Structure 1
Amino acid sequence: MGAVEIIGLAASVSLLAGWRLYLCVFAVGLAMQTGWVELPHQLKALDVLANPWLIGIAGVGAVAEFFADKVMWVDSVWDTIHTAIRPIGGALLALAIVDPTDPAWQIAALLLGGGGALLTHGAKAGARAAVNVSPEPVSNVVVSTGEDILTGGLLFLALANPVAAVVIAVLIVCATVVTLVLLRRVLRRLVGRKARAASS
């Protein structure tokens, strides 16, 4: 696996951790435990994820997140609590993927992995808060289920094909930036409406 593929895989996993950290840790650990995913020697640091205790803890977290994310406003509270947890998890996952013998790569992975996870977490949390304004609860469940499927599918694709991981990372960053721009516009409109209502 070349440097570009390793960077793509580290970026994909850390970006996806901003959406579903526990699912990422659980899926990677379970795939390694069952031998479904054979990681190359550069990624042997991820062997710790195959620990049954860690898989169990991540599984409990994934189930809790699955249900918390389906309930209006509970999802926003969950996202608020995980504003620090997801970026740290994303940074540590990226750190485990890169070459442990090169401190420069390790620091870059730590910073970029944490930053990427924070970026996607921010877009997810903002989008979910906007969805919560909707009066009906169905949209919340649909969006959350879509995030579950998208995270699982992209994670599988990134692990199965390191070249695809590069494309996935680029697409996630683009989608996140678009989401943040749209959220900013929505927020400005809401603030403008409230200002006009207050002045009239």
Structure 2
Amino acid sequence: MSVLPLVFTSGWASGINAYAVVLLLGVFGATGLSDDVPGTLQRPEVLIAAGVLFLCEAVADKIPYVDSAWDAVHTVVRPAAGAWVGAVLAGQSGSLSDAAAALLGGSTALASHAVKAGTRMAVNSSPEPFSNVVVSLAEDLGVAGIVTFAIFHPVAASVVAATLLVAGLTVLCFLVSRIRRFLRRRAQRREERRLTRLPWPPPG
């Protein structure tokens, strides 16, 4: 069977939480629940690193503004992880070239990362912190559910992932004004911090 649906779904999920994807796939493979997971993802050191980083993301992702800083750092990490997972899955199955799988996984991860990061900027434009926790939990549960579904029903899961990606990009277009507001507020805070560091009264 073609590994294409699993690569696509893993790429979408990697754009939201790459560490959760690596951890879940590795656990499914290591426990024998799936024969489609390459041995590379099942290695103990990979599982431990993914688990630790997943816990770090679980905390950072729920703190206003820290989540956006974390997303900025992971603009490179998540697409790279999606590309790596895609290439590894393709190498395991032999039904898709590594380069094509890496391109598919990486580009899908980049698109879903853009949706996640943009949504977080819009959420951070509201003063209360609870929406960050709710959105973060929804993302974590969504990634866990989709990746688990993809292990047993890859084609159906890829359809769900594609639908969520299109819906997310559509919503992101409507959130542009809130994202601009967030960026202006962040720039204003930077300027305020800079002014507080200046000597007062100014030398002269």
Interval containing the TM-score (normalised by the shorter chain): 0.7 to 0.9
Task: Report the 3-state secondary structure (helix = DSSP H, G, I; strand = E; otherwise coil) of the residue aligned with 2:68.
Answer: helix
CA–CA distance in 2 between the matches of 1:182 and 1:105? 37
Structure 2: segments with no counterpart, 5+ residues: 183-204
Q: Does 1:154 align with 2:146?
A: yes
Per the normalisation by structure 2, the TM-score is: 0.82
CA–CA distance in 1 between the matches of 2:179 and 2:52? 34
CA–CA distance in 1 between the matches of 2:155 and 2:103? 22
Give deviations 1:32-80, integer Å, cap 9, x for gaps. 11112232xxx5xx21110011100000010000010011111011100
Give deviations 1:149-174, integer Å, cap 9, x for gaps. 11100110011112223312321321
CA–CA distance in 2 between the matches of 1:180 and 1:83? 17
- Count matched residues: 183
Match of 1:31 among 28, 33, 42: 28
Give deviations 1:71-95, integer Å, cap 9, x for gaps. 1111011100100000000011111
Match of 2:105 among 99, 113, 133: 113
2:128 is matched with 136
Structure 1: segments with no counterpart, 5+ residues: 192-200
- Closer/same/farther in 2, CA of residues 178 and 149 from structure 1, 3 Å limit: same
Work out whether residues 118 and 179 of structure 2, in 8 Å CA contact, stay in contact via their aligned partners in 1: no
Task: Provide the identity percentage.
Answer: 37
2:80 is matched with 88
Displaced runs of 4 or more, over 6 A: 100-104
- Closer/same/farther in 2, CA of residues 141 and 101 from structure 1, 3 Å limit: closer
Work out whether residues 119 and 176 of structure 1, in 8 Å CA contact, stay in contact via their aligned partners in 2: no
CA–CA distance in 2 between the matches of 1:78 and 1:103? 35
1:17 is matched with 14
1:171 is matched with 163
- Closer/same/farther in 2, CA of residues 59 and 162 from structure 1, 3 Å limit: same
CA–CA distance in 1 between the matches of 2:107 and 2:70? 19
Root-mean-square deviation (CA, aligned residues, Å) is: 2.3
Per the normalisation by structure 1, the TM-score is: 0.83
